[in-house]
Structure 1
Amino acid sequence: MEKTMLTFLLVLSSLLTINPFSDAVDVINSTHFITDGQTLISSGGTFELGFFSPGAALKITEPGILALVNGSNSIIWSSNTSRVARNLFAKLLDSGNLVVKEGNDDNDNDDNYLWQSFDYPTNTILPGMRFGKNFLTGHENYMSAWKTSEDPAIGDYTCRLDPTGYPQAVLRRGSVKVFSTGPWNGLRYSGLPGMKTAPGFAFDFVLDKNEVYYSYRIPDNSVIPRLVLNETGFLQRWTWMARNQVWALYMNLPTDNCDSYKQCGMYGSCNVQNNPICGCLRNFVPRNSEEWMSTDWSNGCVRKVALDCGTDGFVKYSGIKLPDTEFSWFNASMNLQECELLCRKNCSCVAYTNSDIRNGGSGCLAWFRDLVDIKELYGEGQDIYIRMAASELGKYFAHVVVVLIQYDEFVYVFSCLKYDVADSRREDHKILIVILTSSLGVILLSMSFELWICMRNKKYLKLKSRSGRSEESDGKDLELPLFDLSTISKATRNFSIDNKLGEGGFGPVYKGTLGGGQEIAVKRLSKASLQGIQEFKNEVIFIAKLQHRNLVKILGCCVEGEETMLVYEYMPNKSLDFILFDHLKSKLLDWPKRFQIICGIARGLVYLHQDSRLRIIHRDLKASNILLDTDMNPKISDFGLARSFGGNEIEANTSRVVGTYGYMSPEYAFDGLFSVKSDVYSFGVIVMEILSGKRIKGYSFMDHQNLLGHAWVLYKEGKSLELVDDNIFEPSYVSEMLRIFHVGLLCVQYNPEDRPNMSSVVFMLENETELTRPKQPGFFVHRDVLPSDTSSSSAYASSANEITITMPKAVSVLPLILAVTLDGNLT
């Protein structure tokens, strides 16, 4: 009854648009209660509590319980507090927690709570709430959807942290599973790789003999999020946008058909990028071929060869969401070798892996039923070792290894597996490849051959790197799906001119449609390209490992014959410059959309600079590299020139200055110094372009040099609004436009030390706060010796009009002897 009747209360998880009135209260006691039309407001003005239905009152009653009574004073819900206490009161905290306490109002220590709403989540989980079960008391905190969006009665859907086997969050409709997050792996749920990229979030997962629970925290309280199970069965994460006074949707689960529970049956693997989406794991075949061809995958797959316990081995499968753990077993103190030994000795054990992936992996997680609910996640997935008959185990693990030149203090190594199954009991077979040459042509030829080998023998491209600096892969392989040339050719209608979207420094870009109807964009490396293998490698290494709603998503690549191509999600609105600098199309971008684009770019840069595992400097941020989806949401693209920082690095130097004139910071263009502040400068330029609707160069601003010089003069004269595009000027947005103009100037200051970091920029964009006075920007006087911007812009493609300043530097080739072991490690 307690959980059912609690839905009569409504805790509004929204930031108030005004400061609390002086007579607003956050407490009720034995003498003061609230009735319909009255509310409690937390002391900080963050949460408000009220009623759905008229004729009700919320009271503290004897012998000390919180009660909801109707018009006839009959109790229709109560907290059922068993403890008798005096001087009771209920208080709404700024965390959103409604608590019942005794004594005084000075101490919010939860040890004194007689009852708290955080123990009864209904459809919402707020920061600090526990989602799980107490094994000692039997009390469970779980989510239950409302019946409708207007009716808070319990609906059809529930979401629980299921402790059966190894804990995982399970969404059910009635008693039927419809979605599972996969098990907790120490960092996140196995099937939710995006959890680790949630900015500002800290996750807690506790599992011991007394309890199991998951919770999340916002350390700086800069945002207010909520996790909601809505009435249609979707788990959604919303974040309160104080500036607009609205909730913004940041996560929606399930995300696609592959999230449907047991979509592909036993030993089936789901991939929405394939057609059909279901396939069998390697060494398995459909149980019923006719049903499989008719897209009925419910019967799943079976082994090609039956198991024989005495001779079985294990095959490693990578890049997947771990299977349903309802019938699993775990031990946190075992290592992977001990886990394998245990699984090998038990004929019922069908698979094993580490239960915790942190710090190289630890713990043992083993399965004792057929494996279901597997989804391919590529580089964000996990490894699992599945029991296999001896005849299905591979004989060799061969590698081709190529060492590239040392360039900008990096030495890159590409490797791929020719055979990718092995009996884990065999000893390692090492293959030595020695490259002793100073010929750049030979090395590039070797690498082309190696990529061809990868394409021939594996549907994923594996990339490794060895350098003085760590790459974004953290020493792990990056896996990227490989498309056949025939597939890409068919999708683009043989690279028809009608499908061409544009052309940039990498080469032409084509629109394509895969067999399943998915639209793609294909970047095709041109023989005359200003870019090449180095940029191709950069694009793969960075984008394949990064996931953020404001970064473009790479779907795969094609390396076949003389063709080298990258495949991306298709952006229907092309690039920012395609719309912004067109007199007619720019009218589609009103101020709210432009502000949305500015904030989206900023959030993407925060992720690159501080929330991804390494600090990543884009180095070529410009309007043509900002793509726009159907809703005009921005996505940063083109990482061909990107560089990453590791450890405590904050700045680097290069003799090869590459980028686009006008967007480059002065310290980078003239001295080759780049840092996160280089991207901040480029961002500031884009802000000014979005405000004005004009390019950084190509327009005459009297004697004010370029757009930045013109903006600076207008700022000093108190005429900042004159920069604003006439198409978007609205009196109601004036204060916001002026603030964005000011932030833009702070970003383009001449000295990098004066520029804010991107997290500060996001705060300044979204909040009314006092801003420091900007100093003179690092704008350039126009020079005839620099190339003008005459090329057409192209979505998905680097601009060909880049200024490259190269200083003399010896290019060396390092002769290295590399031993490649069975597991693909370089020693």
Structure 2
Amino acid sequence: MSLIKMSIIFYTYLILIYFSQISLALDSISQSIPLKDDGNTLVSKDGTFELGFFTPGSNSQKRYLGIWYKKIPIQTVVWVANRVNPINDSSGTLTLNINGNLVLTQNETIVWSTTTKNSLGKKQVNPIAFLLDSGNLVVIDQKEAEKEKKSYFWQSFDFPTDTFLPEMKLGLDFRTGLNRRLTAWKSPNDPSPSDFSFGLVSHNNPDGYMMKGDKIFYRSGPWNGLHSSGSPQVRPNPIYEFRFVFNKDELYYTYSLKNSSVISRLVLNATASVRNRYVWIESAKRWEIYTSVPLDLCDNYAICGAYASCVISDSPVCQCIEGFEAKLPRAWNSMDWSNGCVRKKALRCEDKEKDGFVKLSGVKGPDTTYSWLDERIGLEECRVKCLDNCSCMAYANSDVRGEGSGCALWFGDLIDIRNFAAGGQDLYVRMDASELVEHVNVGSHKKKGVMVAVTVLLAVAALSGILILAWCYRQKSSNNVKDKSEFIINEDQYSGMQVDDGDLPVFNLSTIAKATNNFTVNNKIGEGGFGPVYRGILADEVEIAVKRLSTSSGQGLNEFKNEVKLIAKLQHRNLVKLLGCCLEGEEKMLVYEYMPNSSLDSFIFDKEKSELLDWSKRFDIICGIARGLIYLHQDSRLRIIHRDLKASNVLLDKELNPKISDFGMARIFGGDQKEGNTRRIVGTYGYMAPEYATDGLFSVKSDVFSFGVLLMEIISGKRSRGYYNQDQIHNLIGYAWKLWKEGRAIKLIDKSIEDTCFMSQVLHCIHVSLLCVQQNPEDRPGMSSVILMLVSDFELPEPKQPGFFSKDSSETESSTSKHLLSSTNEITITLLEAR
């Protein structure tokens, strides 16, 4: 071959490479440059998003024009143009005409196009289409493209499909009549619109509705300044910033990402009838669900009917508001709550002095279809306005930030109310004053009231003296007396064998004995601090686990009562389910759903079984435990501190999903309570937060500390206590802190997961663990922030020194020691300062 021919071939090759790179690097479409279905795509400037033709699924031949994430290996489509009219071959072409309209054709037949409105008020001279780094496909005059403030002729963000991206607006533009709402795909392989949608509705007090056809499926609740009142868990946090705008021009909701490294999207799913918020985990190469709605039964629209509140932890979940009763008692008692409740006593509107209001705290505001909003006035003026209108049934602050501001009034029946343990807002419901003890007019009985008050004060003083003497005697006579107030249930709340807990079944001793083969050793599957645990099979073939309270346990009775009352009210996929209890003679037993894979500690601390938990499964377990704690701390009706979170108290079902168990030590907090104090320290050595072990102070941050320890155990496969190196560091957290400071945290990783883990993700989790076990509670993140940290790759703050313990009571003279009660035995532990 001649030198000339070789040169021609070489330069031809370079030219082909050059033009192929140009085609792959396109970030715009003009009148002269169309986009064809020949493998060419339009890519955003930073390479995040890509526009092109795709086929959903492997069995379809249909072609769609869509936008997806370019850098994510799992094709994730966020927008589809021709949802209704797919193309049956690869003849599709996207062009931009002189009027600035995008036109999609199949063999010159139009299958989809835009309708451009010239917002500049003049002829479009040189339209051009860009795919922005946000995933927004826009058409703009080329002269406008370089301006800081751009005016688009058309943008895909105004016509979303099933996905809500950061910076996108969801809502209405009153100037143009545009209504931006999400509509789910019919199925994972069919982008055509389903009947499942979500959007905002412009009542005088706007609300968000998820619809199935023309029926409301879920309602988000009115915006209260921080979040939708029906989604208290979606609040400002280290990743997201939310914004709600309502004025004469627009009504919309949007969110942005504070950290550009986070990839997140919100998707409407018709198959599962949910709205999921996802975060991309780069190290694991998968999407992780951060939040979902509907969350539970109480999220179903108007499940309890009018004037009733849904309380997920109650049984039944629907409860009439104070002053109301079931409209149809027989149907109500049969769990048909659709007819709701009616007033026990009618209102007397002609005399507004005869009406008053009952305060409901921590609720989702009622349906706002018949509501009125005025952000200029305060709560007292709002109350007066409601009293002045016979149709007004309730009022509330429209903005709960700070001391509260603004006014929202509700007219007609109050529908779709639910209670939250944390979040929500106060709602004042109108009723006859005779139904309100706190509003009774006692003016004519003023003197009598004073006499009663004096009598009560004297009685209280006398009683206080008696109690003080009794306390002194009690302290002198016994050092082992239990402080029963540390538990949710008091002794006088529980008598004999009666369990006043609604629908919680009470099993006969003979039934339990038969199910467990008379508690034979072969049926024994574990031993807890309060007694053995047995496996059993009921007559209907249901497998159960029976926790039998040991008669020799000095601390088990109150914990048993505590667990019965508390866990019966909790419902979450990551909490163990209580099926019933048995109280007969000296026997006290709890009956749980059976967990075939026992507890987490039986896996991670066993050399052979630990091989069954690869990193992916361990990470799922970590996130499941975190979600269970979030439910306890903020999503359930009751704010609950577990106080004894550890590996042996995390059970695993047959799919190895984690379920938090053993609520004998748990405490309930009131809506505004942040911290508790106890003289009786209960828990397990190695998991207790330092402020709890030394001063008896506990809060949600105590559970966060325990979670941090547990997280480190799952990563390392090592128990929290033990000797770890020649420096005589006595526990895992101390060892982890030493390695972290030396830049050798990788040595913590369990060898059984080294081949299956993503090193960067595991190190990220170690970092999160150290943030959870910091010495000061104020420095530790809340569990909602913890789950965000776990599922995101954004940069974390540097951890401060942890609080950790030693069994050695002869450490330094400056060490502080305190006698503690473990959940398994009594042990003296010493708080050490970090080295």
Q: Same fold (TM over 0.5)?
A: yes
How far residue 325 of structure 1 moved from its aligned partner, in angstroms, is 1.1
Unaligned runs of 5+ in 1: 1-19, 398-420, 457-481, 787-796, 808-827
The one-letter amino acid paired with 1:235 is R
1:99 to 112, 128, 138: 138
Matches for 1:228-307 after TM superposition, within 5 Å: 228-232=267-271, 233-307=273-347
Matches for 1:674-685 after TM superposition, within 5 Å: none
Matches for 1:203-222 after TM superposition, within 5 Å: 203-222=242-261
How far residue 341 of structure 1 moved from its aligned partner, in angstroms, is 1.7
Residue 46 (str. 1) matches residue 56 (str. 2)? no
Q: Deviations over 1:1-24 (max 9, x none)?
A: xxxxxxxxxxxxxxxxxxx99943
How far residue 326 of structure 1 moved from its aligned partner, in angstroms, is 0.1
Check whether the contact 2:615–2:756 (CA below 8 A) recurs between aligned residues: no
Q: Deviations over 1:274-330 (max 9, x none)?
A: 454444333333333343344443333322233321344234142432221101112
How far residue 454 of structure 1 moved from its aligned partner, in angstroms, is 11
Q: Deviations over 1:148-189 (max 9, x none)?
A: 332222221222211124111012222222221222222222
With 563-572 and 20-29 compared, the bigger mean Cα shift is at: 563-572
The one-letter amino acid paired with 1:26 is D
Match of 1:167 in 2: 206
How far residue 631 of structure 1 moved from its aligned partner, in angstroms, is 5.5
Match of 1:477 in 2: none
Match of 1:65 in 2: 101
Check whether the contact 1:258–1:271 (CA below 8 A) recurs between aligned residues: yes
The one-letter amino acid paired with 1:25 is L
1:367 to 410, 414, 432: 410
Q: Distance in 2 between matches of 1:426 and 1:203?
A: 52
Match of 1:695 in 2: 719
1:179 to 209, 215, 218: 218
Match of 2:479 in 1: none
Distance change >3 Å, CA 607–CA 197, structure 1 → 2: farther
The one-letter amino acid paired with 1:249 is I
| CA RMSD of superposed structures (Å) | 6.3
Question: What is the aligned residue count?
Answer: 714
How far residue 118 of structure 1 moved from its aligned partner, in angstroms, is 1.3
How far residue 777 of structure 1 moved from its aligned partner, in angstroms, is 11
The one-letter amino acid paired with 1:131 is L
1:76 to 105, 109, 112: 112
Q: Deviations over 1:689-740 (max 9, x none)?
A: 33453434569989987785999999999999997656x4464547469847
What secondary structure, in the 3-state scheme, does the structure 1 residue paired with 2:187 have? coil
Q: Distance in 1 between matches of 2:255 and 2:322?
A: 37
Residue 56 (str. 1) matches residue 92 (str. 2)? yes
Check whether the contact 1:749–1:778 (CA below 8 A) recurs between aligned residues: yes
Check whether the contact 1:579–1:586 (CA below 8 A) recurs between aligned residues: yes
The one-letter amino acid paired with 1:121 is P
The one-letter amino acid paired with 1:151 is D
The one-letter amino acid paired with 1:313 is D
Check whether the contact 2:525–2:535 (CA below 8 A) recurs between aligned residues: yes
Of structures 1 and 2, the larger Rg is shown by 2
What secondary structure, in the 3-state scheme, does the structure 1 residue paired with 2:402 have? helix
Between the aligned residues of both structures, percent identity stands at 44
Q: Distance in 2 between matches of 1:288 and 1:642?
A: 37
What secondary structure, in the 3-state scheme, does the structure 1 residue paired with 2:183 have? strand
Q: Distance in 1 between matches of 2:442 and 2:544?
A: 40
Q: Deviations over 1:361-406 (max 9, x none)?
A: 3222222212222233355443322232344x24x45xxxxxxxxx
The one-letter amino acid paired with 1:217 is S
Q: Deviations over 1:496-547 (max 9, x none)?
A: 686999776688999999xxx9999999999966699999999999x99999
How far residue 229 of structure 1 moved from its aligned partner, in angstroms, is 1.8
Residue 193 (str. 1) matches residue 193 (str. 2)? no
How far residue 205 of structure 1 moved from its aligned partner, in angstroms, is 1.3
Check whether the contact 2:682–2:823 (CA below 8 A) recurs between aligned residues: no
What secondary structure, in the 3-state scheme, does the structure 1 residue paired with 2:260 have? coil
What secondary structure, in the 3-state scheme, does the structure 2 residue paired with 1:339 have? helix
Check whether the contact 1:126–1:226 (CA below 8 A) recurs between aligned residues: yes
Residue 581 (str. 1) matches residue 624 (str. 2)? no
Higher RCO structure (Cα 8 Å, ≥6 apart):
1
Check whether the contact 1:701–1:707 (CA below 8 A) recurs between aligned residues: no
What secondary structure, in the 3-state scheme, does the structure 1 residue paired with 2:191 have? coil
Check whether the contact 2:765–2:790 (CA below 8 A) recurs between aligned residues: no
Distance change >3 Å, CA 489–CA 508, structure 1 → 2: farther
What secondary structure, in the 3-state scheme, does the structure 1 residue paired with 2:220 have? strand
Check whether the contact 1:28–1:34 (CA below 8 A) recurs between aligned residues: yes
Residue 313 (str. 1) matches residue 314 (str. 2)? no
Q: Deviations over 1:86-121 (max 9, x none)?
A: 333222222221222223697474533222211112
Matches for 1:434-473 after TM superposition, within 5 Å: 435=464, 438=468, 441=471
Residue 90 (str. 1) matches residue 126 (str. 2)? no
Unaligned runs of 5+ in 2: 1-20, 55-62, 64-89, 475-481, 812-820
The one-letter amino acid paired with 1:27 is S
With 629-638 and 237-246 compared, the bigger mean Cα shift is at: 629-638
Distance change >3 Å, CA 42–CA 666, structure 1 → 2: same
Check whether the contact 1:705–1:780 (CA below 8 A) recurs between aligned residues: no
Q: Distance in 2 between matches of 1:367 and 1:518?
A: 49
Q: Distance in 2 between matches of 1:173 and 1:445?
A: 53
Matches for 1:338-357 after TM superposition, within 5 Å: 338-357=381-400
Q: Distance in 1 between matches of 2:655 and 2:342?
A: 43
Residue 122 (str. 1) matches residue 161 (str. 2)? yes
Q: Distance in 2 between matches of 1:47 and 1:487?
A: 53
Q: Distance in 2 between matches of 1:389 and 1:41?
A: 64
Q: Distance in 1 between matches of 2:401 and 2:310?
A: 26
What secondary structure, in the 3-state scheme, does the structure 1 residue paired with 2:221 have? strand
Distance change >3 Å, CA 636–CA 108, structure 1 → 2: farther
Q: Deviations over 1:244-297 (max 9, x none)?
A: 222222233223333332223222333444454444333333333343344443
What secondary structure, in the 3-state scheme, does the structure 2 residue paired with 1:285 have? strand
Distance change >3 Å, CA 763–CA 257, structure 1 → 2: closer
What secondary structure, in the 3-state scheme, does the structure 2 residue paired with 1:291 have? helix
Check whether the contact 2:625–2:659 (CA below 8 A) recurs between aligned residues: yes
The one-letter amino acid paired with 2:283 is R
Match of 2:26 in 1: 25
